[in-house]
Amino acid sequence: MKRFSILIALLCASTLSFAQKADVAFVVGGSFVSDTKETFLTPSTTLFDTVKTDHHLFLEGALGMRLLNAHVASLSLEVPVAGITSQKITLASTPGTVVDNLSTVFITPGFRLKLLPISPISPWVSVGGGWARYSLDSGLKTNKGAIQYGGGLDFKTGLPLLGFRAEVRDFVTGDPNFGVGSVIAGNTSGLHHHNILVGGGIVLRF
């Protein structure tokens, strides 16, 4: 029983120490998505066109767990989860016609390097890789590998647990299936479809 009590105490101390090195950010902003040039086979013809994705609101939550603190810089394990909803999909040849609406989710664990972590303003960079899921309102879904890179600024406040964040991230994937006929030529593989998210929000530190 004594050993069990000591183990519980050590686990509680470890949990407290770990928690004090964690932060959670909630960010909102705008998305900017690259156009896609593809060749489609429709029931009546072969179509050469550019797929355009509308700019839209995004929401993001990011959990950070500090691995190393050298005072001048700190390194954290980071798990950003970002989502964009109801982006209008149009073709360059028919700009007034909405083909479908696209929703996207990104999950890209990685690392965040922060400079001057104890300063009032701390710049940081982030890089990671993981998964993206593109979903059309019509029901078609596409899963893609994704990489994420970006950076931003963290601002401290008079409250130890509360801060603010401004950031830019680019989630890069292969092209999703936009549901316009069958793609017979295009860049459906590789990492070249850019989803740039620019926003700001709050950071809670524990």
Please report the pLDDT score of residue 43 as a whole number.
67
Mean pLDDT over each residue of the chain, to the nearest integer: 86
Please report the pLDDT score of residue 181 as a whole number.
57
Quote the Cα angle for 103-104-107, to 5°. 155
Longest Cα–Cα distance of the chain, Å, equals 79
Residue-wise over 41-61: b if at least 16 C-beta within 10 A, else e? eeeeeeeebebbbeebebbbe
Polymer length in residues for the chain: 206
87 three-state secondary structure: strand
Q: How many CB atoms sit inside 10 A of residue 152's CB?
A: 21
Q: How many CB atoms sit inside 10 A of residue 150's CB?
A: 20
Stretches where the chain sits below pLDDT 50 are: 1-19, 184-187
